[in-house]
Structure 1
Amino acid sequence: MKPALLAYKPISFGAGIAGGLLAGMVFRKVWRAMGHEGDRPQPTAADSSWAEVLTGAAVEAVIFALVKTAVDRGSAEVYHRVIGVWPGK
């Protein structure tokens, strides 16, 4: 494993945890703004409709994917600016 990638691993790990927490907060705000209370319904929730379950899953997936991508890209760019090597090269 190249030293630049090895040095980036802990940064990537920490950024991933922070990104997951941020994505969860963003999802809860969006879900509430859509008129729902609490977390998205689980697929086995008897009192939830198909539309509510699938909408919740789709919105959550999009938010998590966007936040993860933004955090991954942002941490790689910061690492590159500070260290001078793109992680993984």
Structure 2
Amino acid sequence: MNLTKIAYKPVGLLLGALSGVIAGAAFKLAWKFVAHEENAPQATDEHRDLRRIMVAAALQGAIFAAVKAAVDRCGAAATRRIAGTWPG
């Protein structure tokens, strides 16, 4: 394992936490736009139908994956600019 990979580990953890915060906010806004509701349904909410719960879960998963990939990619590119090598 090279020095860049070792040095990137704590940065990667911070970026992961940051991507979770960004994705959570993005999902909340997207759900308001798509469903015209303040809060997305929870899986255990007995008063919401399964279809709506599954749509919310799929949207949330897609947003989280896209944001995480974007943040990870930007972090790796910044590391290459700073250290001269790709961290992955």
Who is 1:32 aligned against? 32
Q: Per-residue deviation at 1:73?
A: 0.7
* Contiguous gaps of at least 5 residues in structure 1: none
Who is 2:2 aligned against? 2
Q: Work out the CA distance in 2 between the residues paired with 1:58 and 1:10.
A: 29
Q: Work out the CA distance in 2 between the residues paired with 1:61 and 1:43.
A: 14
With normalisation by structure 1, the TM-score equals: 0.92
SS of the aligned residue for 1:9 comes to: helix
RMSD of the alignment, in Å? 0.9
Q: Work out the CA distance in 2 between the residues paired with 1:44 and 1:36.
A: 17
SS of the aligned residue for 1:14 comes to: helix
Query: Which amino acid counterpart does residue 77 of structure 1 have in structure 2?
Result: A
Bigger drift between 15-24 and 1-10 goes to 1-10
Q: Work out the CA distance in 2 between the residues paired with 1:50 and 1:36.
A: 16
Q: Per-residue deviation at 1:5?
A: 0.4
Structure 1 stretches of 4+ with a deviation exceeding 3 A read none
Question: How do residues 6-85 of structure 1 correspond to structure 2 at under 5 angstroms?
Answer: 6-34=6-34, 35-38=36-39, 40-85=40-85
Query: Which amino acid counterpart does residue 19 of structure 1 have in structure 2?
Result: S
- Residues 33-89 of structure 1: CA deviation (Å, up to 9, x unaligned): 111222x2122211101111000000000000000000111100000011101103x
SS of the aligned residue for 2:37 comes to: coil
SS of the aligned residue for 1:54 comes to: helix
For these two proteins, the number of residue pairs brought into alignment is: 87
Higher relative CO (CA 8 A, sep ≥ 6), structure 1 or 2?
1
